[in-house]
Amino acid sequence: MPFVESTYQAPWGFSNGHVQSIYPAVWRQVPPVEWTRRRIDTPDGDFLDLDCAGPRSNRVVILSHGLEGNSRQPYIRGMAHAFMKRGWDVVAWNCRGCSGEMNRQLRFYHSGSSDDLGTVLAEVLQQDRWKQAALVGFSLGGNQTLKLLGERGDAVDERVVGAATFSVPCDLVASSLCLGEWQNRLYMARFMKTLRQKVIEKERMFPGELDIAALGGMRTFRQFDDRYTAPLHGFRDAMDYWQQSGSGRLLADIRVPALMVNAWDDPFLAGRCFPREEAETNPNFWLETPRHGGHVGFVTRGRGGEYWSETRAVEFLTELAG
């Protein structure tokens, strides 16, 4: 039964999910990564920016960031250093509109846009020097990762050894509604600030295509996704988008080893974001639910600044790589 008893122990002062979620994002200091940027084209005429680093190994890990994140986030840089230290190359890709330059198309990205991750994976596997590849995803990026693996099932390239994901809102309906509650208003306000800016920029790029009259009054994902995310990406409304894009319904179809680490005190997760039944019935899906850890937290003292989540991901995927 791939249900894992977690080894994570929160240090003193970090047994609160909000503290775990906020501290790393605001105060964690991570050395910069010497990225080399590469731009690739998408099938629909857009582009994705990939940031690459590493010792030129024969194995590579692809890192997928969370909502409104990018390759400069502390959790991406921390994970990149952890893998490079163990001899892996790293490719951290930026979702459309997240690399510092707005993408070309009217659409941007969303929790279920596994097609873009698929484009990145195909590009990586075209490089002859990489004989093995692994995937690591955080939050939205974790959902994209598991959704892609579930969609492809047995068709996943044999060079993909596995995946490790953290703080995954695999039940997007419950998670999105949870974030709209009063206790999460600070997180929501932060997300909405940057999402509004992107919609305004899109409206300038595509005059008349977007109605931004009510944008300033939007306070929840339901409002935003109903008006923008859903129609721009082919969904009927927010609920249809959430139901189709959550990776939870595809966990049973995963055919390569995949780890999900979701903390019980994660303020972003609710409902079926702790899919124990799927872990009990699918030998390829591993679920680990630490008592603490918050959202993309898992703070650790010592270890040269390396967080537990980084050590966990490297150990899990290195063992699979052999």
The span from the CA of 48 to the CA of 202, in Å, is 17
Taking Cα atoms as reference points, which of 85, 109, 112, 80 lies closest to residue 97?
109
Q: Of 139, 175, 176, 309, which is the active-site residue?
A: 139
Q: Which residues of 269-299 are buried (b: 16+ CB within 10 A; e: fewer)?
A: bbbbbbbeebbeebebbbbbbbebbbbbbbb
State yes or no: is 266 an active-site residue. Answer: yes
Q: Amino acid letter at 199?
A: V
Stated as kind and residue range, the H or E segment containing 286 is strand 285-288
Alpha-helix runs per DSSP H in the chain: 17-27, 74-85, 114-125, 140-152, 172-179, 185-205, 221-224, 230-232, 238-245, 276-281, 308-321
State yes or no: is 211 an active-site residue. Answer: no
Say if CB 165 and CB 145 are below 8 A apart: yes
Question: Tokens 């047995």 sit at which residue?
Answer: 154
Query: From residue 40, how far is each of 47, 93, 119, 299, 311 by CA, in Å?
Result: 6, 10, 9, 34, 30
State yes or no: is 295 an active-site residue. Answer: yes
Q: Of 46, 89, 116, 266, which is the active-site residue?
A: 266
What are the residues whose beta carbons fall under 8 Å from the beta carbon of 104, sequence distance 6 or more?
Answer: 45, 46, 47
Q: Which two tokens stand for residue 125?
A: 């596997």
The span from the CA of 147 to the CA of 113, in Å, is 9
Q: Which two tokens stand for residue 317?
A: 């995927």
| Residues identified as active-site | 139, 266, 295
